[in-house]
Amino acid sequence: MSYQRPKGTNDILPGESEKWQFIEDTARSLFNNYQYQEIRTPLFEHYEVISRSVGDTTDIVSKEMYDFYDKGGRHITLRPEGTAPIVRAYVEHKLFGPEYSKPYKVFYIGPMFRYERPQKGRLRQFHQIGVEAFGSDNAATDVETMVMALAFFKQLGIQHLHLVINTLGDKATRENYRQALIDYFSAYENKLSEDSKRRLHENPLRILDSKDKADKKLVADAPSILDYLSEKAQAHFTQVTTMLDALEISYEIESTMVRGLDYYTHTIFEIMSDNPQLGAQSTLCAGGRYDQLVEELGGPDTPGFGFAIGIERLLLVLENEEVELPALHQLDAYVVNIGASTNTEALKVTQAIRDAGFSADRDVMGRKAKAQFKSADKQRAKFVFTLGEDELNAGMINVKSMASGEEKRIPLTTVYNDLTQIFDEMN
């Protein structure tokens, strides 16, 4: 009997995992520069943390949760996203207290779980790199955070992207707009999909996010939220666009964009790849402002802004744009040993190089010299040490710098006592 991985999951194998490490390292160092620190929350949460934040009528909560009752009868779900768990942690640990910096800025990297129909760029276990900033309602926070996401993609060498923004305004905006949507869609109620009929009175904003063809036609002529913005919401949005202009960042405003999560207020955004091969999965990064969520989960009135990037989608784009990521693991030294009697000395030499703080590898499969030199080449070793029986008897070893081609025969004692000098001299 043999098994396959569960549908919608991936094994990340060596060869691929180096790319993940490079992407994650790039995010860590860039986000650190913007003063974000890492946070790690559990992979599962109380169901209610997610349902109250993301919203009961969203696809994520109503169709895609990996939820279950644990042996203690608790309703638990694997996390479908990172924001709600982090807000839960922010409130639980009172990270709004005076001893913490403001805004309080965190980033996270890890797996999320959604029971979706798997396809290219859409998985059931997928991975996000995300950030959340708590405590600032300044439009500059919206803009610098979106710019940080763009900078991340730029640093990775991705070129063909565009930024799409919209606003969902404040409470007053959404109340007015909700009524306008109900009025508009009620006239076409019998044409709406079953899902959207249900949403019409529960949460009409969700109809705008429908993937149903007939719904989409009606959505095209629906009233625009931009006509219902309160004065405060309009002022915030104008500041955001003015600041994007000041930084000469190009963007489009898409007034029907609502995003698939209920917690957003004011600015929302997506960064899409222009690559046609990604189809409906072209959104690499998405996020926005959530000024009521902290309070909703029992904390003090605290604004928030964040985004999440889908790592699997990012990898597809890197592949499509043929971006070469640098090799992470270059080998400092490869030790070629010829003849069974050199086995122990080769072990000692390899270990001495490692103990001196360098990376080293050797053959342990009894391969012929030619095959060992090939391995050294393949692993891109900077130096190749060669130990034959003659060298061993003379207490010597050969060392070759692969960069300069220079070759030397040196005493084994030098390897044990003065390795750094050899590397420096021959570099």
Contact positions toward ligand HAM, by CB under 6 A?
81-83, 114, 116, 121-123, 126, 128, 130, 132, 260-261, 283-288, 306-308, 310, 312-313
The nearest distance, CB 375 to ligand HAM, in angstroms, is 37
The nearest distance, CB 155 to ligand HAM, in angstroms, is 18
Residue nearest to ligand HAM (CB): 310
The nearest distance, CB 301 to ligand HAM, in angstroms, is 18
Which one, 285 or 346, has the nearer CB to ligand HAM? 285
Which one, 116 or 137, has the nearer CB to ligand HAM? 116
Which one, 288 or 388, has the nearer CB to ligand HAM? 288
**SS3 readout for 228-281:** CCCHHHHHHHHHHHHHHHHCCCCCEECCCCCCCCCCCEEEEEEEEECCHHHHHH
Which one, 200 or 261, has the nearer CB to ligand HAM? 261
The nearest distance, CB 258 to ligand HAM, in angstroms, is 11
Structural tokens at position 18: 């180096």
CA distances from 37 to 7, 98, 132, 201 (A): 33, 18, 10, 41
Of 79, 88, 82, the residue nearest 132 (C-alpha): 82
The nearest distance, CB 193 to ligand HAM, in angstroms, is 21
CA 407, CA 398: separation in Å to the nearest integer? 7
6: which DSSP letter? P
Which one, 116 or 321, has the nearer CB to ligand HAM? 116
The nearest distance, CB 421 to ligand HAM, in angstroms, is 50
**SS3 readout for 17-52:** HHHHHHHHHHHHHHHHHCCCEECCCCCEEEHHHHHH
Q: How far is CA 300 from the centre of its chain?
A: 29
Which one, 112 or 396, has the nearer CB to ligand HAM? 112
Which one, 149 or 200, has the nearer CB to ligand HAM? 149
Cβ(398)–Cβ(416) below 8 Å: no
Here the contacts of 251-254 (C-beta below 8 Å, separation 24 or greater) are 251/162, 251/163, 251/164, 251/165, 252/162, 252/163, 252/164, 252/165, 253/164, 253/165, 253/166, 253/226, 254/164, 254/165, 254/166
CA 60, CA 116: separation in Å to the nearest integer? 9
Tell the burial category of 96 from Cβ atoms under 10 Å away from its Cβ (0-12, 13-18, 19+). middle
Which one, 10 or 401, has the nearer CB to ligand HAM? 10
Torsions phi, psi for 98 (to 5 deg): -65, -20
The nearest distance, CB 82 to ligand HAM, in angstroms, is 5
Which one, 132 or 215, has the nearer CB to ligand HAM? 132
The nearest distance, CB 139 to ligand HAM, in angstroms, is 16
The nearest distance, CB 92 to ligand HAM, in angstroms, is 18
Residue type, 32: N
